[in-house]
Structure 1
């Protein structure tokens, strides 16, 4: 059995599986099937069970029975909303021009400072940059997902959201370099390329597409990729350094998706 690296934690792979294939299953995914499908990417049965328990405690998975009476797990409504929001990130293409910005301005009483920490971590996790203390900024297209997240976490009363444009005084590209750690984001793209570009090149040399191999390589690539659009807010090329590695990493992911997803679906039992 292949080893699952720290990057591919069992709990993350389960979420990735449901996002790629599991949510199209009519009804819950049987436990036995979940164990089979996670074994294909190197996760043993005890790790599946313990990870599912954590996802249940977080309210993302629900215990349910299949039509045949087998034990299984279904996505909660919150989980489906998270996956739907994630789709808009994972499969998006970078905008050609600046579409404006959404600003999140928050104020949390000292007596509730734990919520301040949660707010900061969630905004960072959504891809916001820091424009000033208590003022966070992201491309305007992230407004709906931001709103969903703040409502779900009951943080809306502490935040005001605004839409607008950057008028200066610094050039927007210069300001963007202050708002985000572009060097750190670039390293994440380069790590994705180091891991998955050779996988793509291997598939490009092959004519056949064995379903289990396709499933394994696609799920691992998606598990790596799906975190990147949250670190990288998807800025227009004009605001990014020359030869931005995100362009190449997105191309590699799209090529793997096109080559492997449907074959992987047949292994997962969700394809035609």
Structure 2
């Protein structure tokens, strides 16, 4: 997440998997998640105990996890308010519609030269939210991201530098051609293709089975979600009518939805059994 703390350029790191675990299942725990359970659950995904402890420490330093005791007195970690907000935003991206409609939200900003660091944070944040660049200081994204953009800019202390607008693209080039300038569609397509290369064979394997053992479901669902949850930030739900024919994001969304439907609930039974 840079200033989107749950957004990362790499997937399946211990820190990313911990975030994914909290996003998928951790909010259903009755209290803080015990450290022992984090180690057990991440161990089922191939992460050893030292890596879990190190990743938890980094998330704690960033203010996303808060040390707390369980009702039984065991050491554990709870989500901070900021972390919960970020996960809630992530839910809308991860499980929401991938075909945005209704125009665009524009972010127009100006940062004094003396505050270069602030400018970098602002640009990084807008990139992390999935904004494309129309011109220097003029960024845009599907209009449905307005609320998330607004409270994110407020949280990082940049709202005073930005004006937000809603609008439509009225020319002079075709909107599809403009979108190809505003976003690197080739790079986005490669991200969707990488997701399909890793997880479409997993889906095919499950489609050939009638049983859904909880541990195996959890083992396959956690990395699928870990891979997928980054994509709606890179590709913020650009309208399909504006994308190249055969856009792989359509298929990647179908594969994720199928894996989610098949595996998430069964995976929860494994988590609940371990807790």
TM-score, with structure 2 as normaliser: 0.94
Q: Which of 39, 44, 55 is the equivalent residue of 1:35?
A: 39
Query: What's 1:237 paired with?
Result: 240
Following superposition, which runs of at least 4 residues in structure 1 exceed 4 angstroms of deviation? none
Give the secondary-structure state (helix, strand or coil) at the position aligned to 1:41.
Answer: coil
Query: What's 2:253 paired with?
Result: 250
Contact 2:44–2:219 (8 Å) recurs in 1: yes
Number of aligned positions between the proteins: 265
Cα drift, residue 152 of structure 1: 1.0
The superposition leaves residues 92-127 of structure 1 with CA deviations (integer Å, 9 ceiling, x where unpaired) of 1223x7411000011111111011111111101100
Gaps of 5+ in 2: 1-9
The superposition leaves residues 70-102 of structure 1 with CA deviations (integer Å, 9 ceiling, x where unpaired) of 11000000000000000110011223x741100
Q: Which of 61, 66, 69 is the equivalent residue of 2:70?
A: 66
Alpha-carbon distance in structure 2 between the residues aligned to 1:98 and 1:174: 17
The superposition leaves residues 137-178 of structure 1 with CA deviations (integer Å, 9 ceiling, x where unpaired) of 000000111112111111111111111111111111111010
Contact 1:107–1:134 (8 Å) recurs in 2: yes
Query: What's 1:84 paired with?
Result: 88
The superposition leaves residues 184-218 of structure 1 with CA deviations (integer Å, 9 ceiling, x where unpaired) of 00000000000000000000011111111100100
Contact 1:211–1:263 (8 Å) recurs in 2: yes
Alignment RMSD (CA, Å): 1.2
Cα drift, residue 270 of structure 1: 7.5
Alpha-carbon distance in structure 2 between the residues aligned to 1:149 and 1:98: 21
The superposition leaves residues 197-245 of structure 1 with CA deviations (integer Å, 9 ceiling, x where unpaired) of 0000000011111111100100000000000000001111110100110
Give the secondary-structure state (helix, strand or coil) at the position aligned to 2:11.
Answer: helix
Written as runs of structure 1 = structure 2, the 5 A alignment for 1:163-242 is 163-242=166-245
Is 1:262 the counterpart of 2:260? The answer is no
Contact 1:21–1:270 (8 Å) recurs in 2: no
Gaps of 5+ in 1: 1-5
TM-score, with structure 1 as normaliser: 0.95
Alpha-carbon distance in structure 2 between the residues aligned to 1:45 and 1:94: 36
Q: Which of 106, 122, 132 is the equivalent residue of 1:129?
A: 132
Give the secondary-structure state (helix, strand or coil) at the position aligned to 2:246.
Answer: coil
Alpha-carbon distance in structure 1 between the residues aligned to 2:11 and 2:24: 18
